Structure 1
């Protein structure tokens, strides 16, 4: 059965085709102006899902990078302060060797004792070092000064907080960044606690006891070795943080590339399509004008 094609049906069909061509041309021009091939979810529902996932991954990656940067800075500060402490220990050993030879006068001994006391104060300052407003040698109690500066404080009896400070630097990765004061300077009551050793050295120097000074050499050596070991551990942690940060940067680059492939527009290709769509639209307008040129007069003839 033949369907009778009326003028109204022809007009509707032509207008529908023109609108589709116009919509296609407008969509391409919008993509070119924004530089994105997905401007709303309906453009590519699957692509939008992937794009949201990639953006979520990038946001998480950015958080982890900030954590690794903070961890790196904390570890760098710790390493710097530990280096200063080992320099103090080197000077302490020099004074002990010089004053234990028996060639120092009483005045020299008093001067050496005074310097050891200053070295002890320097270690206290190092023990109270802060990074970002946090005391780095006091565990999770980083808001509290571990070594009080009040006169008469017995630093050999100080108990620092020994809980670990951990940063989340990746998916399910918690990383300890701190070294406690007791771990570095010595636990309360142990023979090689650096503050207890210094107190005994000062006492021996003030009393002119060369043998007492010599007797402490082993404790100084033991504590120095422990300090060097702690600093080596900080170096190992620093290396790991650097590796994690490098991996995060690689992940960021890969995810950004995937996001770009999902969202970003191939401008050259879009320009060609836009030019073609404009040509098609203009041709449709011209042909439609020719087809629909009839008027009421034509039907009255």
Structure 2
């Protein structure tokens, strides 16, 4: 025995079909207007899972990129000021050679001594170099001026700088130290080639007109200049590594963004075609339904 189809059943089924068509039109309309296949999690639960993963990876990558930018700025600035210190050391050596020849009279030694005092002040200024308000030669004590005299520290030779490393996380489980301690670069108070102690001994020897003592400081100047150059080379090597990491982060950002686009972004041309087809289907369904449901009392008379 066949099931009897009533007009109420027909109208209910028609309304459901029209609503389904309308929902499909709304979904396609949202896709075409936003340009995205996933506008809410229910649109594609599996795709949403991948989308969240890609977004997390991009956020982490963005932070690593920001860190590498800051690290490179620090290293570039360190290289610049270290280069300036190297130029000062070259000039100190030139003056020491000139003063130690034995042909320079007391007035000449006084003039050289005055210039050395100025160079000493320049090295102290370099030691107090700041990048965005952070002292680069004082380890993790970024807010404290390292080469500042006080009641307890009366000589630049006695300055003790912080040895803690300023580090940046540049990729997963990889941190890179970028700071250089002032005591490593200019010498600590126990180092014979501490540049400030060397200059103090030089000026004292010039006051005494002691050419032999002046020449005796040349090995200390050369030793400290060599150490400065080695530390500057380390900075250069770290800069090269940072640049390689930056390139890899850029590639990763492009790859993950491409994957994210495949999951999230709609094909606008295809979506517009589907939306137009859905609208045509909906309008045809409306006309067909209206025609099929046009019942009157005459239909039940016979």
- Give the TM-score normalised by structure 1: 0.97
Which digits, 9 at most, give the CA deviation of each residue in 1:230-287, with x for residues without a partner?
0000001111111111111111111111111111110011011111111111221222
**Could you list the per-position Cα deviations for residues 171-214 of structure 1 after superposition, in whole angstroms to 9, with x for gaps in the alignment?**
11111010100110112111111111111111111221111111
Q: Is the 8 A contact 2:149 2:155 kept in 1?
A: no
The answer to whether the aligner puts 1:178 opposite 2:176 as a matched pair is: no
CA distance in 2, matches of 1:227, 1:213: 21
Following superposition, the deviation at residue 98 of structure 1 comes to 1.0
SS at match of 1:167: strand
Is 1:231 aligned to 2:266, yes or no?
Answer: no
Cα RMSD of the aligned pairs, angstroms, is 1.3
Q: How many residues were matched structurally?
A: 301
1:300 offset after TM fit, Å?
3.2
Please give the alpha-carbon distance, in whole angstroms, between the structure 1 residues aligned to 2:96 and 2:212: 11
Report if the CA contact (8 A) 2:193-2:223 is conserved. yes
- Gaps of at least 5 residues in structure 2 are none
Unpaired runs of 5+ residues, structure 1, are none
Deviation at 1:70, TM superposition (A): 0.8
State the partner residue of 2:163.
162
Q: Which residue of 1 aligns with 2:107?
A: 107
- What does residue 118 of structure 2 align with? 118
TM-score (norm 2): 0.96
Shift of 1:149: 4.0
1:298 maps to 299
The aligned runs of 1:194-213 (5 Å cut-off) are 194-213=195-214
* Residue equivalent to 1:87: 87
After TM superposition, give the deviation of residue 166 of structure 1 in Å: 1.1
Compute the displacement of 1:150 (Å): 5.0
Q: Distance in 2 between matches of 1:5 and 1:127?
A: 94
Q: How does 1:1-301 map onto structure 2 within 5 Å?
A: 1-149=1-149, 153-301=154-302
Q: After TM superposition, what 4+ stretches of structure 1 lie above 6 angstroms from structure 2?
A: none
